[in-house]
Amino acid sequence: MYAALWTLAYAMLSFVEQAARESSDPAFQGVLMLGLAAGRFGLWILPGFTGNAWWADSLTARGHELVITVDAATADAAVAQAIKTIGSEDVERLMAQMESAEPGRVDVKHPPAPPS
C-alpha cells in the first residue's frame, strides 16, 4: 500500500514540476518550484521517522506477533535484556523456532506471560 501511495505522490510532484516549467509567470513558477522542493524533501525524510512503524505493521500483517520490545544498543544487548525480562527458557524456545523456521518467518502464537 505504501508503495502505491509513494508512486502516486511522485506522480503528483511530476505534474507540479511540469506545470512549473510551462508557466510563463516567474513568481508562480518560483512558488511551484519551492513547493516541489518541499514535497520531495518530505518524501525523502518521511521514512526516517516512520520506517520502523511501517516495518512493524508489515510483520504484523504477515502473521507475526510482538512478544517483547526492548531498547538496546546492540543485538546481543537486546537478547540479554529479553532473557532477563521474559526468562531464558522462553527466549531459547523462540530462538529454536527461528532456527527451524523457513527463512524470515517465525510465528509466535502464544507469547510468554510476563514474569511475576
Query: What tens digit of pLDDT does each residue of 33-74 get?
Result: 898 899 889 888 988 888 888 888 888 888 777 777 888 888
- 25 pLDDT above the threshold of 80: yes
Would the CA dihedral through 46, 49, 54, 55 be positive or negative?
A: positive
- 24 pLDDT above the threshold of 70: yes
Q: What is the residue type of 53?
A: A
Q: 54 and 79, same structural domain?
A: no
Q: 72 and 54, same structural domain?
A: no
Beta carbons within 10 angstroms of residue 82's beta carbon: 20
List the domain range (segments joined by +) for residue 49: 2-61
Q: 115 and 69, same structural domain?
A: yes
Find cell 518560483 and name the residue: 30
Measure the CA–CA gap between 18 and 26, rounded to whole angstroms.
14
The pLDDT value recorded for residue 74 is 85
Q: 11 and 28, same structural domain?
A: yes
| Total domains, the chain | 2
Burial of 46 (0-12, 13-18, 19+ CB in 10 A): middle
Q: 43 and 86, same structural domain?
A: no
